């Protein structure tokens, strides 16, 4: 696994192994960031949130491409240690925060620290986290008005088309992975 673009392009990232670990492949990350660039342009100065961060590859990719700050949430101690190591490898420690604990509780601790311009969400497949986390993001208004949220799911996992003010505006399939893109409703 490596950083695909930006200031630390080509830098190898540490991954960890375990049950139910499925990092976003380089191919899917490349497609995701190509889509983000076509929709939002450069990521320069954006505030990023990476939920169920795993190795931190998505948030780190955004930092490499110019995001100003990134917050990482993961409940697994091994994941948080891996994120720290990857941030150190890339020189992004000062631009990042790592939160521990359950995603829903961690999101509540971010109240007042948002909104975020770009949110990545890669919950464990088959556990129905997507709806609950999207509801919390909507309730706490963690996605900026012009922001974009990208939800990664397995092709067989359900993903809501809307939750509160969050609306799914695009979906793309890459093998067994689905990417769902959400914006806040246009009429607020």
Domains assigned to the chain:
26-184 (3.40.50.150)
Strand order through the sheet with 96-100: 96-100, 69-74, 47-51, 116-121, 143-154, 177-184, 166-174, 162-163
24-74 pLDDT, tens digit each: 667 888 889 988 888 777 899 999 999 999 999 999 999 999 999 999 999
Provide the b/e sequence for 128-161 (b: ≥16 CB within 10 Å): ebbeebbebbbebebbbeebbbbbbbeeebebbe
112-128 pLDDT, tens digit each: 888 999 999 999 877 77
Is the pTM higher than 0.85? The answer reads yes
In 3D space, the residue among 111, 118, 122, 135 whose CA is nearest the CA of residue 48 turns out to be 118
66-81 pLDDT, tens digit each: 999 999 999 999 999 9
């Amino acid at each position: 696994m490596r950083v695909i673009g930006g200031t630390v392009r080509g830098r190898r990232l540490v991954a960890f192994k375990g049950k139910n670990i499925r990092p976003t492949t380089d191919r899917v990350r490349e497609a995701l960031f190509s889509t983000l660039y076509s929709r939002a342009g450069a990521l320069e100065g954006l505030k990023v949130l990476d939920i169920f961060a795993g190795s931190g590859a998505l948030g780190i990719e955004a930092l490499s491409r110019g995001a100003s700050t990134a917050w990482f949430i993961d409940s697994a101690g091994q994941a948080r240690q891996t994120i720290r190591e990857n941030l150190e490898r890339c020189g992004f420690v000062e631009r990042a925060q790592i939160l521990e604990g359950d995603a829903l509780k961690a999101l509540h601790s971010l109240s007042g620290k948002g909104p975020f311009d770009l949110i990545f969400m890669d919950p464990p497949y088959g556990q129905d986290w997507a709806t609950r986390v999207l509801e919390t993001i909507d309730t706490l208004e963690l996605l900026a008005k012009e922001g974009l949220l990208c939800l990664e799911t397995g092709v067989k996992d359900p993903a809501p088309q809307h939750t509160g003010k969050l609306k799914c505006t695009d979906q793309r399939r890459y093998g067994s992975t689905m990417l769902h893109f959400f914006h806040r409703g246009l009429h607020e």
